[in-house]
Amino acid sequence: MQGNSSSLVTCTIATVSVDTSDPAGGDAALTFWETVFPELKDLTGPAFVPNCVVTVTDDAGNPIDTSTFQYLLTGGQVAPWMLNGNTIGGTPVQCQQCTVTAAFQATENSNSFPVSGSPTAVPMAHVQAHSKHARVTLLTIPGNTYVNQVQTLGEIVPFGLAGYIYNIAQIPQYEGSYIIQETEITDQVPLGNNLNLTGSLAEWTTMAACLQQISYDLTAGRTTLTFGPASHLGAKDFVERLRVNRGPRWFNLNGNNVTNNPGSNGGTQLGNNVAQRGPSPGPRAADRQIYPISITDLAANASAYSYGFPGVTIDTTTSDQPNYGNIAGLTAPNAPIIMLSGGSGGALASTGLVRITGADLAGHGPAYFQPLGVCVAGVWKTCMVLCTAPY
């Protein structure tokens, strides 16, 4: 069976804070604008032109709220798993590509250097109304290294699997072939059945041999049955069968024997739930379904409960139905019925039992949930009442 697995993925991004104020003030505003327009670093004293209008818009021309998208992506790439409805520090992770527009004025510097000494920027000219555009990516989260750990739980080991395999392995298996000669082939033992033989050895009458292959000779009217253990199947095939059959198993299909106790009537058997004639997936499910509080308690005390079981019972059988709740004056059957009860150790709880059935009305007609106006402390309230007509 596949065990637990874990994967760890990291994503590192770098950002600067979005500050669309005048870069003349320096600090965060100057850093933001020099990141958006790196050429501003070659100018002295960059500032907005008078009456400059800064715009931050998406591809459709709609304005972007920079109070939400507070960070400019400068390095790395946002991973898809970060954007799938995740939140970091209570902030939903969002990413938006947009266009930033602004107009600047500054002093342009030359690239000339003196013959000796340190490089010196020499003013050349004053740049005015220099309008610029840039396409950038804004985020709602700051730069950092983010970690995504995905854990996949392993497959659940079936309860009682080892006992089931052990009990199956110690049952004698019979192998061989059997020929049926007829005038016309009637297909007496189709696939999906087990084979027992009478008139010979006594153990053959209950051997429950599993049919593996059937060969038909239509001209001679001969049917050859090949039976024996499924030697072509191994442990891996059994695991695959468990995987495709994953899900809740009704209690009536394992005979209330959840531990595969070989001493129980519902234990592991060859030929169990196999049709007598023709292929079949198993017996038809009973019309009484039990959702016990404790399957261990029910398996140990099923015969001790005289009426109903602790938990939820849904019974739609039409005969041999017990009087759930042991209510005086009521006779069985009273189908359909739902009973809820506590209890353990073979005895139901003395209080708290709920029984729902149409027969409990005893001829008083159908019952309905109806709204009813009630005055409580001078205030009208509406409540739902279970009642019979015409009340």
One domain for residues 34 and 126: yes
Q: How far apart are CA 290 and CA 195, in angstroms?
A: 33
One domain for residues 230 and 302: no
One domain for residues 25 and 124: yes
Task: Among 122, 149, 176, give the residue marking a domain's end.
Answer: 149
One domain for residues 94 and 184: no
One domain for residues 242 and 297: no
One domain for residues 219 and 331: no
For residue 379, give both structure tokens. 């205030």
Q: Give the residue numbers spanning the domain of 24.
A: 5-149
* Alpha carbon separation from 39 to 30, 104, 130, 286 (Å, rounded): 12, 12, 12, 81
- pLDDT of amino acid 191: 87
The residue among 39, 22, 25 whose CA lies nearest residue 109 is 39
pLDDT confidence bin for 282, thresholds 50/70/90 = very low
Task: Among 234, 253, 272, give the residue marking a domain's end.
Answer: 253
Q: Is residue 60 part of a domain?
A: yes
Q: Is residue 274 part of a domain?
A: no
One domain for residues 35 and 118: yes
| 334-367 confidence digits (pLDDT tens) | 678 888 999 999 888 877 788 888 777 766 777 8
Highest average pLDDT, of 214-228, 271-285, 320-334, comes from: 214-228
Q: How far apart are CA 157 and CA 340, in angstroms?
A: 31
On whether the CB atoms of residues 2 and 155 are closer than 8 A, the answer is yes
Q: Is residue 49 part of a domain?
A: yes
Q: Is residue 369 part of a domain?
A: no
Region class of 64: left (phi > 0), else alpha (psi between -120 and 50), else beta: beta
One domain for residues 102 and 215: no
| 182-217 confidence digits (pLDDT tens) | 999 998 888 888 899 999 899 999 898 989 999 999
Amino acid (1-letter code) at residue 174: Y
Region class of 208: left (phi > 0), else alpha (psi between -120 and 50), else beta: left
One domain for residues 101 and 175: no
pTM, two decimal places: 0.41
- pLDDT of amino acid 281: 46
Compute the 3-state secondary structure of the chain and give helix, strand, coil in percent, each to the nearest 5. 15, 35, 50
Q: What are phi and psi of 30, to 5 degrees?
A: -65, -40
Q: Is residue 388 part of a domain?
A: no
Total domains in the fold of the chain: 3
Q: 57 pairs with which residues across the strands? A: 63, 99
| 134-165 confidence digits (pLDDT tens) | 999 999 999 999 888 887 777 766 666 777 77
